[in-house]
Each structure stands twice: as C-alpha cells, then as structure tokens.
Amino acid sequence: MLGPVTMLNTFVSTDAAEEIGLAEHCQVCAVSPLLYQLLLQAVDLPLAYPTVGRSHHLMNLLLAEIPMATVLPLHAPLPMNEDLADLCRTLLAAPTLQMDTDNMAKRMAMSRSTFTRFFRKETGISFMQWRQQACLLAAIARLEAGQSVTTVALDLGYGSPSAFTALFRKTLGMSPQAYVRIQAN
C-alpha cells in the first residue's frame, strides 16, 4: 500500500468463504460505497455477534457484497525471500522502468534465467509484470497527489506521456485523468 491508507479487516470463516465463492489467494479489490459502509458498521460488532437481528443481516449483506467487488489488476506481491523482498521494497520506494531483469539478477548475484524462475516462484508473476504494477501503484499515488500525467510518466521512465496513458488505460480501463476524477468523488 502506498500513501495514506484506511484498513478495515473482516475475517470470514472457511465455510462462509467457500459458500460465497471467495478466491483462495490474495486480491486487491475496489471497495464500493456500500461495502465501505458495511465494513465501518461491522468493525463495531462483537466477535460473537448475535445470529438474529441487525448484526446478522449486516454481516450477511457484507458477505454478499464482498464477492461483488471488482478485482483490481494492481498488485505487487512481496516475495518471501528476505534479500529479494528488500530489493523489491527498494524498487517500490522509487519505481522505474529503467530497473530491468538483468539489473535485478545482477543485484541478486544470479543469472538472468535463474532470477526469472526464482522471482516467479516467489511472487507468482514475472518481474516485468511486477515492475509494471509497482510503477502503476506509484503513478496512482502521485496522480492523486496532483502531479501531472507528463511528470509522472517521464519520472517513471515511460518514453512519453501517451505510452504511459495507453498502458494505464489498458490496465485500468480508463485514462489517468478519468481515474483520478472518479477517485476524487
């Protein structure tokens, strides 16, 4: 997570998760206004909330809303290996397209092919996908802070603002300006 974050956790039993069809792996999801309000209400409930009445209905509605959340394609999982995780944290702090697979492999004292296999095993995605996600996450935070598309694109190493906008649109389904406008509302 980058920038200011409000985190609300809901623990769902295995039986309930299976019943509503939750994914078995970590995902980043958009939180609708309804889901957000349900989460705000749920945090005040006791762990053993009543199985009848308002609490019961609230939690059932929450469980019905969670699978409806849109899965966002923005996820840069950290590896379990500490050396690689430290390197990834460094890149998350200052993401750039200039950090390529060969540079990362060199920093890990591995061949390119060994690093490529190792990175995918540790994160579930390729380094190139991970780097792109890291850059998009940083871009969103910077755009929401009011930086221009041109500044963000060039700082992250994109060849042009239009190349950045095309990737942003392909990944998130809208232009950077439209995304920021929607998030502001």
Q: Is the pLDDT of residue 3 over 60?
A: no
pLDDT value at 162 more than 60: yes
- The answer for 48, left when phi > 0, alpha when psi is -120 to 50, beta otherwise, is beta
Longest alpha-carbon distance in the chain: 61
In this predicted model, what pLDDT tens digit does every residue of 125-141 receive, in sequence order? 999 999 999 999 899 88
Intervals of CATH 1.10.10.60 along the chain: 82-184
Q: Are 67 and 22 in contact (CB under 8 A)?
A: yes
Return the CA Rg of the chain. 20
Can you give the pTM of this predicted structure? 0.68
Beta bridge partners of 118: none
Amino acid making up residue 161: P
CATH architecture of structural domain 82-184: Orthogonal Bundle (1.10)
In degrees rounded to 5, what are phi and psi of residue 60?
-65, -40
pLDDT at residue 152, rounded to an integer? 96
Backbone phi and psi for residue 12, each to the nearest 5 degrees, phi listed first: -110, 130
The closest alpha carbon to 75, from 61, 92, 51, 62, belongs to: 92
- Residue 61's alpha-carbon distances to 34, 54, 66, 98, in angstroms, are 10, 10, 9, 46
Q: Which of 67-71, 116-120, 139-143 has the lowest mean pLDDT?
A: 67-71
Q: Where are the alpha helices (DSSP H) in the chain?
A: 14-20, 33-42, 54-65, 82-93, 101-107, 112-123, 127-144, 149-156, 161-172, 176-184
* pLDDT of the residue at 181: 84
